[in-house]
Structure 1
Amino acid sequence: METGVFLMVIAAAALHAGWNALLKIGLDRFLTASLIQIGAGIVALFALPFVALPEVAAWPWIILSALLHIGYNLFLSRAYQHGDLGQVYPISRGSSPLLVAALSVLLLGEVLPAGQWLGLGVLVGGIWLMALRGGTGKTGSDLLINALLTALFIAAYTLADASGARANGDPLSYSAWLFAVNGLVMALVILGQRGPRVVSMLGPYWRAGLLGGAMSMLAYSIAIWAMTQAPVALVSALRETSVVFALLIGRLLLKESLPPLRALACLIIVAGVALMKLA
């Protein structure tokens, strides 16, 4: 992976952690995720006049990705019913790069050198280590099943978007239309699920939704662009360094504690990133 692409993906990971830290706004997880995606969709609408229509070959991937995001939000919210952020986030986000790596070999024919596989394994191990010290410490089957299903949907929409952006030949156009469609789909889903009253529930948080949506759109648009420049498995793994940035934000800005085991996990993740870059 070229250094410029590498640094852009790391920046995207920092943005991802930033909007997650920003939106501690008191809504349930499904509503918060929906608010972010609707906000990103609104931001994307302003970008549409400046980008081309996607190629015909890209539209099935855009629609598939929007549907997969519904499953992602559903199982993520279910996972949070059985565990907290410190457990669910590392398990779901830490498992998806391995799934992406395995599926990209089968579906996209991408092959990684042994050193990059080693780095990916070290990085994922560091993320999973964080889950051992997460919140209540409960690791029941319901938590694991829903967190792993969340990881499966992350892997699925990641591969769908990599394929769509490559088929389109213009990652910026693909990203803008993806977020616009995804925002519309999530708005319809949340209205169907919660009814018209959901508008008044989300209304007070529209500024946070737009800001978080803009950050989310920028972060994932960078990742989509990077997946047209480098192997999908590497981009997917580097995106998950967002857990390190989330811990740093919590420690430096929110004055949260950083237990020694989690500090060790951060160092392991950084070692994994170094191995992937140097391999």
Structure 2
Amino acid sequence: MSLAVFLAVLAAAAMHASWNAMVKVHLDRFLSVTVLTMGMALMALLAVPFVEFPRAEVWPWILASTLFHMGYKLCLIGAYRAGDLAQTYPLARGTAPLLAAIGGIFVVSEVPGPLSIIGIVLLCAGTLVMSFRGGGHLEKLNLHAVGYALATSVFIASYTLSDGSGARLAASASSYAVYLFLADGIWSLILCLLVRGPQSLPAMARNWKAGVITGGLSGTAYWIVMWAMTKAPIAAVASLRESSILFAMLISVFALGEKMTVWRSAAALGIVAGVVALRLG
């Protein structure tokens, strides 16, 4: 992984942590994510005149990724209902890169080198420690919540591999990203109407500004990731992206005044060690 790609993915991770910290609209999390997705679609719509329309062979990847994103969101809804999302979501994020690394061997024939494998494992371990011991307790997890978290990780790994493959096949990562965000926005709106009904529209419309801001950050961050996956191994990029957990911890400590515990410090060291290993690998 070149230095430029490495720094770009770290910047994307910081953006990812930032928009997560900014999602504080007066809506529940499902509607907040829908507003964010619609914000991404709006930004993509503005970019349509500047990118190439995807060729026919690219659309199966876009449509597959749209379905994977929908499955991801539905599993998140289940995780909200089943248990403490502060733990189940990081569990999903922490295991997804491992699944992406395994899937990458079969889908795109990418076998990580020894240092990259060490980096992926360290990043995943640090993420899991951060979620389980950074503020909560492992014993509170229930099997139902764990099931949803692991299902979420499968969908994350699936759309990661799909987007990496599609972006490589497209004329450019920008072309793929723009039409993916548009397709995801349309399907998210359909999903919202099916789950919450038309009465959810006025509530989301009142928070359109938050959607534009967070959607812009989220879209930019994920566009960088898709571009990076055209330049470096998918598993390495997917793992490095999870350093967003470290940036989220720094925001919580220095901006929100939360306590820096021993477990948080250990998790941070693990993530940093994983980042260094991925750079050297």
Taking structure 1 as the reference length, the TM-score comes to 0.96
Give the drift of 1:245.
Answer: 0.6
Distance 1:143 1:93, change over 3 A: same
In structure 1, the partner of 2:247 is 245
In structure 2, the partner of 1:80 is 80
In structure 1, the partner of 2:65 is 65
| Distance in 2, Cα, partners of 1:241 & 1:168 | 27
Contact map agreement 1:84 1:136 (CA 8 A) in 2: no
| Distance in 1, Cα, partners of 2:164 & 2:116 | 19
Contact map agreement 2:19 2:217 (CA 8 A) in 1: yes
Contact map agreement 1:17 1:245 (CA 8 A) in 2: yes
1:113 maps to 2:124: no
In structure 1, the partner of 2:23 is 23
1:147 to 146, 149, 154: 149
1:135 maps to 2:122: no
Query: Is there any run of 5+ residues in structure 1 with no aligned partner, and where?
Result: none
Summarize the alignment of residues 95-244 of structure 1 with structure 2, pairs less than 5 Å apart: 95-133=95-133, 134-135=135-136, 137=138, 138-244=140-246
Give the drift of 1:123.
Answer: 1.1
Contact map agreement 2:12 2:241 (CA 8 A) in 1: yes
Give the drift of 1:17.
Answer: 0.6
Q: Which moved more, 1:222-231 or 1:166-175?
A: 166-175
| Distance in 2, Cα, partners of 1:25 & 1:85 | 18
CA shift digits 1:16-49 (9 cap, x unpaired): 1110000022422222221111111111100101
| Distance in 2, Cα, partners of 1:31 & 1:123 | 30
Taking structure 2 as the reference length, the TM-score comes to 0.96
Distance 1:51 1:15, change over 3 A: same
In structure 2, the partner of 1:278 is 280
| Distance in 1, Cα, partners of 2:65 & 2:32 | 19
| Distance in 1, Cα, partners of 2:86 & 2:268 | 14
CA RMSD of aligned residues (A): 1.3
Q: Which moved more, 1:221-230 or 1:83-92?
A: 83-92
Q: Which moved more, 1:110-119 or 1:237-246?
A: 110-119
Give the drift of 1:131.
Answer: 2.3
| Distance in 2, Cα, partners of 1:222 & 1:132 | 29
Number of matched pairs: 279
In structure 1, the partner of 2:271 is 269
Give the drift of 1:209.
Answer: 0.8
1:90 maps to 2:90: yes
In structure 2, the partner of 1:254 is 256
| Distance in 1, Cα, partners of 2:171 & 2:150 | 32
CA shift digits 1:148-206 (9 cap, x unpaired): 11110000001111111111131111101110111111111111221111111212211
| Distance in 2, Cα, partners of 1:262 & 1:80 | 24
Contact map agreement 2:44 2:182 (CA 8 A) in 1: yes
In structure 1, the partner of 2:3 is 3
